[in-house]
Amino acid sequence: MYITQINNEHKSNIKANAVPSSKTLTPFTSGSLVCLASFGFRIFSASSSSSDSSQGGAMNVFDRSMKRKQKQWASSLLDSDKYDYLRDEAGSRVADRVYDVSRSLTFPLALDVGCGKSHVAEHLSKEIVERLFLTDISDSSLRNRRKCEIPGHCVLADEEFLPFKENTFDLVLSSMSLHWINDLPGALRQIYQVLKPDGVFIGAMVGGETLYELRCSLQLAELEREGGFAPHISPYTAVTDLGNLLGRAGFNMLTVDIDEVQVNYPGMLEVMSDLQGMGESNCAWTRKSLLHRDTILAAAAIYKEMYGNEDGSVPATFQILYMIGWKPHESQAKPAKRGSANVSFANLSKISKLQTVHQKTNEKP
């Protein structure tokens, strides 16, 4: 398995290099791209893509360079595995949804966008997915990925700029990375484009009510100690908006559902420490660079007073939004034409009576 790099900060057109014959991880060079035309790669200009995105009115909420550094640091920790519990849980639930929609079929080629340490792939089998491409913004995460039985290829690429041709993949996955995307509608459109007709996208991302305990505690503490507050928790997508975004991207047969995962910690400081270890620290441009010691202590006391459990621990709530969307194809089920129904809703109340009569008829000798 090898890693392909895309450097989105490079200011010139990216050139294609020869594919390395070795399957070990290759060293990176600034602004390089290994072009695998047979697997649907395309040569990609990061500067033009960025300008196109900005002209299209995309928001610039998150510092992607900072997020890359956070993930690099977190994945390079010697004990980084102990912070993967949330990603492992979300990844296993995404994998469950893959098995649910597989329809006893095999996906020949799949893509995992923002894979981290491949938290989804380790739960999949090669009977379901024959070949898998893993992409992430952090090369350290790709190097420390989990082992899985599916043959795979690693691509170092920003989730906002997918370097693949249209109609390439049968399945696209994403788990716990899309909530850091600046242009989420654009990212969903790119996922839609790289899918083949009748391909499916299955994803999971953090929702708007995540870490509300921490958010409220920090706001109240800052109001009390400093006379105002700054946003310390990144803004997240609301579940009411997610279906609309998927529909606008072109997906149909949509499914959106919510899971709430509550984790208990000894205190607020442990919550913040684990978020840092996950690489999930705030990277919004408007983030406050300094949090005073008095404010932190006050927030910890408020957190325990307002949300603390009887055993002295404090809960942290993570709202996970799961989504499934299909790329349209003529073979998919379509709604019947209006007026084609042969049963009236007015007769629904008579169904139980008809069933009773039918049963009595069958019981007669």
Fold of 62-329: Rossmann fold (3.40.50)
| 167-197 confidence digits (pLDDT tens) | 999 999 999 999 988 989 999 999 999 999 9
Residue 339 has pLDDT above 90, yes or no: no
Among 23-27, 64-68, 356-360, which is the least confidently predicted range?
23-27
| 225-266 confidence digits (pLDDT tens) | 887 777 777 778 888 889 899 999 999 999 999 999 999 999
Can you state the angle between helices 212-226 and 268-278, rounded to 10 degrees? Answer: 120
For residue 57, what pLDDT is reported? 52
223 or 346, which is more confident? 223
Exposure class string for 222-232: b at 16+ Cβ within 10 A, else e: beebeeebeeb
For residue 251, what pLDDT is reported? 94
Residue 345 has pLDDT above 50, yes or no: yes
- Determine the Cα angle at 20 with ends 16 and 26, to 5°: 95
| 197-210 confidence digits (pLDDT tens) | 999 999 999 988 89
Among 128-132, 212-216, 257-261, 357-361, which is the least confidently predicted range?
357-361
253 or 329, which is more confident? 253
Q: Residue 169, SS3?
A: strand
Q: Residue 334, SS3?
A: coil
Residue 276 has pLDDT above 80, yes or no: yes
Percentage of the chain modeled with pLDDT above 90: 48
What is the 3-class SS of the chain, one letter each residue?
A: CCEEECCCCCCCCCEEECCCCCCCCCCCCCCEEECCHHHCECCCCHHHHHHHHHHCCCCCCECHHHHHHHHHHHHCCCCHHHHCHHHHHHHHHHHHHHHHHCCCCCEEEEEEECCCCCCCHHHCCCCCEEEEEEEECCHHHHHCCCCCCCCEEEEECCCCCCCECCCCEEEEEEECCHHHCCCHHHHHHHHHHHEEEEEEEEEEEEECCCCHHHHHHHHHHHHHHHCCCCCCCCCCECHHHHHHHHHHHCCEEEEEEEEEEEEEECCHHHHHHHHHHHCCCCCECCCCCCCCHHHHHHHHHHHHHHHCCCCCCEEEEEEEEEEEEECCCCCCCCCCCCCCCCCCHHHHHHHHHHHHHHHHHHHCC
Phi-psi domain of 31 (left: phi exceeds 0; alpha: psi -120 through 50; beta: other)? left
In order of 130, 201, 248, 307, the CA distances from 173 in angstroms are 14, 6, 19, 34
Average pLDDT, the chain: 80
343 or 64, which is more confident? 64
Instruction: Identify the residue whose tokens are 């009977």.
Output: 127
Residue 6 has pLDDT above 80, yes or no: no
